[in-house]
Structure 1
Amino acid sequence: MNAKPAIIHSSAAASSERDRLAAAVVSYGDAVGPFDALMRGYMMRTFAPWFADGACLQVGCAHGDQTSLLLERYDDLTVLEPDPTFIGHTRERLGDRAVFVEALLEDYETDRRFDTIVLSHVLEHVTDPVAALRRLGELLASDGRLYVVVPNAEAPSRRIAVKMGLFSHLEGLSAADEAAGHRRVYRLDTLQRDVAAAGLGAEHSGGILYKPLANFQFDALIGGPLISHDFMEACYALGQERPSECASIFVVAKAAT
Structure 2
Amino acid sequence: MSVSEQERLSAVVASYGEAYAPFDAKMRDYMMRAFEPHFRDGRCLQVGCAHGDQTSLLLDRFGEVTVVEGAPEFIASTRARVGDRARFVECLIEDYETDERYETILFAHVLEHVEDPVVAIRKLRSLLTPTGRLFLVVPNAEAASRRIAVKMGALSHLEALSPDDVAAGHRRVYRLDTLCRDTLEAGMKIAQTGGIFFKPLANFQLNELMGGPLVSEAFMEGCYQLGFEHPTFCASIYVVAEAG
TM-score range, shorter chain: over 0.9
Gaps of 5+ in 1: 1-9
Contact 1:32–1:63 (8 Å) recurs in 2: no
Contact 1:80–1:100 (8 Å) recurs in 2: yes
Instruction: Name the CA distance, whole Å, in 1 between partners of 2:69 and 2:79.
Output: 12
User: Is residue 217 from structure 1 mapped to residue 176 from structure 2 by the alignment?
Assistant: no
Task: Give the residue type in structure 1 aligned to 2:132.
Answer: G
Q: CA deviation at 1:138?
A: 0.3
* SS of equivalent residue, structure 2 residue 24: helix
User: Is residue 116 from structure 1 mapped to residue 76 from structure 2 by the alignment?
Assistant: no
Q: CA deviation at 1:165?
A: 1.7
TM-score, normalising length: structure 2? 0.98
Residue 32 to residue 80, structure 1, CA distance change in 2 (3 Å): farther
Instruction: Name the CA distance, whole Å, in 1 between partners of 2:184 and 2:54.
Output: 26
16-25 vs 144-153, which deviates more?
A: 16-25
Instruction: Please list the CA deviations of residues 194-218 of structure 1 after superposition, one character each: whole Å capped at 9, or x if unmatched.
Output: 0000000000000000000000000
User: Is residue 76 from structure 1 mapped to residue 64 from structure 2 by the alignment?
Assistant: yes
Percent of aligned positions with the same letter in both sequences? 65
Match of 1:4 in 2: none
Task: Give the residue type in structure 2 aligned to 1:127.
Answer: E
Q: CA deviation at 1:25?
A: 1.4
Contact 1:18–1:104 (8 Å) recurs in 2: no
Correspondence for 1:100 among 85, 88, 97: 88
Match of 1:38 in 2: 26
Equivalences for residues 23-172 of structure 1 within 5 A: 23-172=11-160
User: Is residue 229 from structure 1 mapped to residue 217 from structure 2 by the alignment?
Assistant: yes
173-182 vs 161-170, which deviates more?
A: 161-170
Task: Give the residue type in structure 1 aligned to 2:73.
Answer: T
Task: Give the residue type in structure 2 aligned to 1:25.
Answer: V
Gaps of 5+ in 2: none
Task: Give the residue type in structure 2 aligned to 1:220.
Answer: E
* SS of equivalent residue, structure 2 residue 38: coil
User: Is residue 255 from structure 1 mapped to residue 243 from structure 2 by the alignment?
Assistant: yes
Q: CA deviation at 1:87?
A: 0.7
Contact 1:124–1:150 (8 Å) recurs in 2: yes
* SS of equivalent residue, structure 1 residue 95: helix
Match of 1:245 in 2: 233
* SS of equivalent residue, structure 1 residue 225: coil
Match of 1:3 in 2: none
User: Is residue 17 from structure 1 mapped to residue 5 from structure 2 by the alignment?
Assistant: yes
Instruction: Count how many residue pairs are aligned between Structure 1 and Structure 2.
Output: 244
Q: CA deviation at 1:133?
A: 0.3
Q: CA RMSD in A?
A: 0.8
- List structure 1 segments (4+ residues) > 3 angstroms apart after TM superposition: none
* SS of equivalent residue, structure 1 residue 199: coil
